[in-house]
Amino acid sequence: MISLHDEQERLKKASDKVRELQRQLDAVDRDLTQLAQKLEKKNQEIGSLGGKREDNTRRVNQLKQELEGVPLVAEEFQTQIIELQGDNKLTLDTFGSVQNAVDRKIQEKLRTLQGQMDAFQGYILPAMQKFLQQYPQERASLMAEIAYGSEFIKLRDEIKGEELPKHHERFFSLLNTKLIMDMAAFNMKLVQDEKDIRDRIDVVNQTLRHTKFSRETYVHIRVTPANSDEIRTFRARLKSCLTRGILPEPSEQDAIYKNIRELIADFEKQPEWTARVTDVRNWMDYGVQELDTADNTEVEYYAVSSGKSGGEKTLLAFTIMASAITSQYGLTGNGDDLNRFRLVLVDEAFAKTDPDNSIRALELFQALDLQLIVINPWDAKSRIVENYVDSYHLANTNLSTHCSSLTRATRERYLEVRKAWEAKNAQKVDAEPN
């Protein structure tokens, strides 16, 4: 029989095991609780990663859609893009911020390049326009626009390929020896024409000196430089083409060539202006002095704008014309010119002059020993020439056949026909009702 003491000891020992087991149980419970917490946390992490995975998959698919049809970026651009990224690491999370940062840098660079392009355009476009103005034949395929830049470059390469710059020196040599010399010859021709006119007027003046304009006077043609801005400007431009002679310095050749080119262009564009400024008669203003035969003092001056009567101007014109004809035919009046040609045709020349001036003109022609053919209608004016005519030719017109004939008549026959014509016209006048 077990004693109470022994039972007590046994129970004590059993209680210690229970406590140990309880302790172990409590430890296991704690471990299970911790594991459950860890499991819950892992499940949460798995759920979060799953959400991220789905989000990443969506973003990847979105990027794939955006990149559809986009050509592959060349390696050189990839390098530039990486440089633009700088230290920013590209991930799905940082993609947006890195993209924005790179976009900002690209926009800044574009603005810088646009500023440079604007500056270049400010230089290039005027240069293109100037080239097309100098070489208008190129306008068929070129325009002064940036879009045609490649075409200009192509043309430049063609010019280089043809080695045109090698001929630059030869071109200016030809410019010196040909173009400038031609311009010099053109100028000399104009100057010579001006001198010829002055010389001819001098000869006419010599004849006028011995031709009476009135009983006490003779006339003298005076020539002065034309008071015309147009002529002065033209002559100045012509002079600028030859300011350095026919062999200008290389540094001056471009400017001289430009002056010549612009002048020739104006010749082509303005034919009427060209005709005016190259007609050397327009380089001079003309007037006539009436001088006293005794002391050569001026009695009267006749200009284009002077308000002289028609008769005075006609007599003046006849005087100058007759002297010019005399000079042209080389009639000296000294007996050595008797067999020289001296025929002058005068067609109704006295129709608008008064009788006195008409007679003075006829006497002038007679004094200068010119042979006249005077054509006059049947009118009162025609009678002025009767005392200065040696022979007559009567023109007969048949209106039905539209034929005319010319009959030589003596003075008696002329007076007979004239008398009959005047009587016939007098009858017509009498028959007309009052």
Q: Identify residue 375 by its one-letter amino acid code.
A: I
Structure tokens at 29: 């419970």
Of 248, 117, 133, the closest CA to residue 180 belongs to 248
Tell me, rounded to whole angstroms, the distance of Cα 157 from its chain centroid. Answer: 28
H or E, element range at 76 = helix 75-85
Of 219, 227, 361, the closest CA to residue 288 belongs to 219
Q: Is the pTM of this model over 0.85?
A: no
CB 81 within 8 A of CB 102: yes
Q: Where are the domains of the chain?
A: 1-31, 118-162, 172-305
**DSSP assignments along 139-164, one per residue:** GGT--SSGGGHHHHHHHHHHHHHTTG
Q: How far is residue 429's CA from residue 425's CA, in Å, rounded to a whole number?
A: 6
Q: How far is residue 188's CA from residue 180's CA, in Å, rounded to a whole number?
A: 12
DSSP for residue 175 = I
Beta bridge partners of 287: 222
Encode the chain (434 residues) as per-residue pLDDT tens digits: 556 667 666 666 667 777 777 787 778 888 888 888 888 888 887 877 777 777 777 777 776 776 676 665 656 666 766 666 666 666 666 666 777 777 787 788 888 888 887 887 788 888 888 888 887 877 778 888 888 888 888 877 777 766 555 666 666 666 666 778 888 889 999 999 999 989 888 888 887 887 777 788 888 888 899 999 999 999 999 988 887 766 667 667 777 888 888 898 999 999 999 999 999 999 998 888 889 999 999 988 887 655 566 666 666 777 777 777 776 666 655 555 566 666 777 776 666 677 777 777 777 777 777 777 877 776 666 677 777 777 778 777 766 777 777 888 777 887 787 788 777 776 665 555 44
Q: How far is residue 303's CA from residue 286's CA, in Å, rounded to a whole number?
A: 7
The span from the first CA to the last CA of the chain, in angstroms, equals 203
Q: Hey, CA dihedral for 76, 78, 81, 86, is it positive or negative?
A: negative
CB 277 within 8 A of CB 231: yes
Q: How far is residue 306's CA from residue 397's CA, in Å, rounded to a whole number?
A: 42
